[in-house]
Amino acid sequence: MCGDEFEDEVKAIQGHHEKPRMLYKSRSIKVTVCVRNSPVHFIVPLPRVDEAIDKASSLSDGTGYEQALLDKLLYARQLYSDQIDGKNAPRAQRSRKGVMVQLQYAAAWTYLLLSELERCEIRNEIGNSLQNAERFVAALVPGWASFKRAQQLWLITAFLVDRCFQKERRVEKLDSPVEWREKVHNPQSYYVTYIVPKLEWGKKQLARNPHLFDFAKAEPLRPAPNMYLRQVLEVLSSFDRRD
């Protein structure tokens, strides 16, 4: 891939910086992504936002313009959950639904990333950051050594994703299983609630693009393919600064 093509891909992945907008007259959402340096606008009626998310997720392989569109649609879903879900449901219920969708996508991607890093035994910058984060989580969770390795990965996923969405979780009073110092830790519950709903979708994206996580192996590191992994990598990098 030449330099210009790489820059185009990075811009497509990051998308246009314009925030999703609510078009009140037409009861639609407008999102903008950058395709080959040019902004492309998508207008989606409110009742069809979830349908558009499903369609974008089926087209995306985790990178490129389709993933940028999916990122923006999910962001719009979080911003305008009240309007998208209608006024019949209680406000708290509508708001929490939007956050849950975000957490589920983020948890699936993060778990797949951690599983891939584990399988490949990567020891580059990201692998080292993961080891530092794991030591931190192990210190937070009593009886860490008693959990199976898969359960430990679920708890590391929970910790990283919960840190990415710390503010949103606290507004909706969604507890983190890692921060439950006074409660019994239940990694299985987190796995079923947050990782499983989008896990098969994530596996399909990885199957369609086996190089999806090559950014984790490249030197220097390439940008993460979507907003969730970019946020997770930011959290991971913070543990290097603790040393």
- The verdict on 2 and 40 lying in the same domain is yes
- The verdict on 227 and 171 lying in the same domain is yes
Bridge partners for 38 per DSSP:
35
Residue 94 lies in a domain: no
- Tokens at residue 112, please? 């797949």
Position 157 confidence tier, pLDDT thresholds 50, 70, 90: very high
Compute the distance between CA of residue 73 and CA of residue 20 in angstroms, rounded to an integer. 8
Domain count across the chain: 2
Position 183 confidence tier, pLDDT thresholds 50, 70, 90: low
- The verdict on 59 and 128 lying in the same domain is no
The two most distant CA atoms of the chain are separated, in Å, by 57
Residue 203 lies in a domain: yes
Computed on alpha carbons and rounded to an integer, the radius of gyration of the chain in Å comes to: 18
- The verdict on 67 and 155 lying in the same domain is no
Indicate the residue among 64, 88, 112 that finishes a domain.
Answer: 88
Identify the domain containing residue 139 by its residue range.
Answer: 102-243
pTM of this prediction?
0.73
Residue 157 lies in a domain: yes
Compute the distance between CA of residue 57 and CA of residue 170 in angstroms, rounded to an integer. 27
For residue 156, the model assigns a pLDDT of 94
Tally of CA atoms within 13 A in the half-sphere of 94 that contains its CB: 14
For residue 1, the model assigns a pLDDT of 45
- Tokens at residue 86, please? 């209608």
- The verdict on 42 and 148 lying in the same domain is no
- The verdict on 127 and 216 lying in the same domain is yes
- The verdict on 140 and 196 lying in the same domain is yes
Q: Looking at the predicted structure, is the pLDDT value of residue 37 above 70?
A: yes
DSSP 224: P
- The verdict on 130 and 205 lying in the same domain is yes
Look-up: residue for tokens 């985790």?
62
Mean per-residue pLDDT over the chain, rounded: 79
- The verdict on 19 and 110 lying in the same domain is no
The torsion angle over the Cα atoms of residues 17, 18, 20 and 22, rounded to 10 degrees, is: 170
For residue 155, the model assigns a pLDDT of 94
Compute the distance between CA of residue 10 and CA of residue 24 in angstroms, rounded to an integer. 32
- Tokens at residue 156, please? 């590391």
Interaxial angle between packed helices 149-164 and 91-120, expressed in degrees from 0 to 180 and rounded to the nearest 10: 130
